[in-house]
A and B are shown apart, each in its own frame.
Chain A
Amino acid sequence: GAGVSQSPSNKVTEKGKDVELRCDPISGHTALYWYRQSLGQGLEFLIYFQGNSAPDKSGLPSDRFSAERTGGSVSTLTIQRTQQEDSAVYLCASKIPGLLYDTQYFGPGTRLTVL
């Protein structure tokens, strides 16, 4: 596909379990972002990857959250020991940085529900 894809689209888990969310960016996009959006709220930045540089993790809310990006492409966001407040839509976006119109292209998101 030509767009950003995310999986799963929905995830229901029990409190205390670990979850992994996947993002496949647009081919050739070296920048990748993860955001969290709680119900009725704006987007909260989590982490930013750019090429081989060290990721910007300044938005991660706690050490239960981590993310990896393998081979400069696919990214996985992991939440350990999930809590009910982690329930939200997790959005991934990618882009080519440095262009004049540096648009972020968003995936459809993963809706996480922690029971």
Chain B
Amino acid sequence: LAKTTQPISMDSYEGQEVNITCSHNNIATNDYITWYQQFPSQGPRFIIQGYKTKVTNEVASLFIPADRKSSTLSLPRVSLSDTAVYYCLVGGPRGNQFYFGTGTSLTVIP
């Protein structure tokens, strides 16, 4: 079971780009990397998923180097509503993605 390591917390000002890096040294060949966002009193929700290189959607970008031992979630021009906890998971399509870890608590400052 691939475990992940993330910074516990980060602060950013509104309008800045935020990059959160996750380490997953034991990632397996078939594992994907998935990021979730969790607001207080809510369950986590999916942000983005990737296998290698770069993935971009309307919310974020995900950068994955060639060795796949880490990944970086990039949030462009954050706003106060992006204040949340961000979790990085690794796992395969069989469904065994369930190590959320402690996540990164992002606080966006006005």
Contacts of A7 on B, CB cut-off 8 Å? none
Q: Is B110 an interface residue (CB 8 A)?
A: no
Partner of A42, one of B42, B96, B102: B102
**Distance between B85 CB and nearest chain A CB, rounded to angstroms:** 8
Of the candidate stretches B19-27, B44-52, B63-71, B72-80, the one touching chain A is B44-52
Q: Are B87 and A43 in contact (CB under 8 A)?
A: yes
- Give the size category of A's interface with B: 20 to 34
> Which of B42, B95, B96, B102 is the most central at the interface, judged by chain A CB atoms within 10 Å of its CB?
B95
Q: A102-B32, A102-B93 are in contact. Are A109 and B43 (CB under 8 A)?
A: yes
Q: How many A-B residue pairs have CB under 8 A?
A: 64
The CA of A56 and the CA of B98, in the complex, are separated in Å by: 11
Main secondary structure of the interface of B (DSSP, over half): loop
Partner of B98, one of A4, A35, A107: A35
Q: Is B15 an interface residue (CB 8 A)?
A: no
Contacts of A98 on B, CB cut-off 8 Å? 93-95
B residues at A contact (CB < 8 Å): 32, 34, 36, 41-46, 49, 85, 87, 93-103
Enumerate 27 A-B pairs (CB-CB under 8 Å) in ascending A order: A33-B98, A35-B98, A42-B85, A42-B87, A42-B101, A45-B98, A45-B100, A48-B98, A56-B96, A59-B98, A95-B95, A98-B93, A99-B93, A101-B46, A101-B49, A102-B32, A103-B34, A103-B46, A103-B49, A104-B44, A104-B46, A104-B97, A106-B42, A106-B43, A106-B44, A107-B43, A109-B41
